[in-house]
Amino acid sequence: MGNKQEELEVCARSQGHDLIAITETWWDSSHDWNAVMDGCVLFRRDRPARRGGGVALYVREQLECIELRLGVDEERVESLWLRMKGQANMGDTVVGVYYRPPDQEEEVDEAFYRQLEVASQSQALVLMGDLNHPDICWKSNAARHAQSRRFLQSIDDNFLTQVVEEATRRGVLLDLVVPNKEGLVGDVKVGGSLGCSDHEMVEFRILRGRSRAISRITTLDFRRANFGLFKDLLGRIPWVRALEVLYLCSDSRMVSNAIWKSNWQHRGKPIWAAPLWQDIAAQLEKLVVKVRHVDAHIPKNLATEEHQNNQQVDQAAKIEVAQVDLD
């Protein structure tokens, strides 16, 4: 933070923010005395062993919150997670700040995705930070690099949405705000910076004033699906008589590869709904099963032969499957 600390305190007092998230603090134990801010509780995670990095969260002291521990790999990931207590009959909100260095290894990326998967189980989640994926085009939900595409896959797998639309550093969108519910975040503004920082500040409101029970909009929460009933219904279908070939289509390469290899695992761990997939396979063992990976992150102008399944599966979804030759 350096010479930005005084400017940050002035900004916090004048704007009246309840929560301030910071990435790349560059703090260590020598900064304990000057990191405190009147009226706020400070949560921080400094980068161990080497300079740079680090994340912090200032929370207005009137707000009740606790720090969360989300995984055994936390020491390798520059992230910080808090649970903000909701008032009256309002639900709690989990907030996270994350800094991803541009040269971060895939193994550390995966450690963060495991944290994100746990955090996404919350009723209300807001992730923010500098994730350093400059090649992502958020309008088309596409990316050139494999690590960026893996991040997009994690966003999709956890039903999250990225809401910042303007560039935050030299014409590139690096600093993101990612809630797990539509309407949870509003009034997103990009502009201004602290000191000589080349990153723009991102301001937004977390709309925590909603009761848990008043929503009349029905939405599907696949995490709470009744897979037992689903398996029972599938078991009543005479698959062998009804079909000769079954096509399984998924936009999750993790699921597609696990089904294709019939090991039901990804990186040594069971895939999402693994028992359900295994049960389907057992009932369909006499059928020819063809697995299609549908890549939702590749626009048409970048599609290769591998991505031709997209158009075919879209067509199959709109008319009777029997009328479509996916080969």
pLDDT digits (tens, 9 = 90+) for 279-313: 766 766 666 666 666 665 555 666 665 555 556 65
Q: Which of 175, 206, 237 is where one domain is finished? A: 206
User: Could you tell me which residues are beta bridge partners of residue 211?
Assistant: 90
Residue pair 18/63 in contact (Cβ under 8 Å)? The answer is: yes
Main-chain phi, psi angles of 15, to 5 degrees: -90, -20
| Residue-wise pLDDT tens digits, 242-293 | 666 666 666 665 555 655 555 666 666 666 667 776 776 676 666 666 666 6
Q: Average pLDDT for residues 193-222, to the nearest whole number?
A: 69
- Confidence at 323, pLDDT banded by 50, 70, 90: very low
51 in a structural domain: yes
SS3 266: strand
Q: How many domains does the chain have?
A: 2
133 and 241 share one domain: no
105 and 151 share one domain: yes
Q: How far apart are the first and last CA of the chain?
A: 57
21 and 97 share one domain: yes
129 in a structural domain: yes
220 in a structural domain: no
Supply the range of the domain harboring residue 236. Answer: 225-323
List CB contacts of 211: < 8 A, sequence separation 6 or more: 89, 90
| Residue-wise pLDDT tens digits, 61-85 | 889 999 998 876 677 899 999 999 8
180 and 94 share one domain: yes
159 and 300 share one domain: no
The strands making up 55-60's β-sheet, listed across from edge to edge, are 19-23, 55-60, 40-45
287 in a structural domain: yes
195 and 252 share one domain: no
- Confidence at 94, pLDDT banded by 50, 70, 90: very high
Write the burial class of residue 203 (CB in 10 Å: 0-12 exposed, 13-18 middle, 19+ buried).
middle
Q: Average pLDDT for residues 168-183, to the nearest whole number?
A: 91
Mean pLDDT over each residue of the chain, to the nearest integer: 77
Distances (CA, A) of 60 to 157, 177, 201: 33, 20, 19
Share of the chain above pLDDT 70, in %: 62
The residue among 34 and 56 whose pLDDT is bigger is 56
106 and 229 share one domain: no
39 and 182 share one domain: yes
The residue among 226 and 322 whose pLDDT is bigger is 226
48 and 84 share one domain: yes
Q: What share of the chain is helix, strand, coil (3-state, %, to 5)?
A: 30, 25, 45
The residue among 110 and 237 whose pLDDT is bigger is 110
Dist CA 228 CA 41 (whole Å)? 45
Q: Average pLDDT for residues 34-39, to the nearest whole number?
A: 77
215 in a structural domain: no
271 in a structural domain: yes
pLDDT of residue 241: 63
251 and 191 share one domain: no
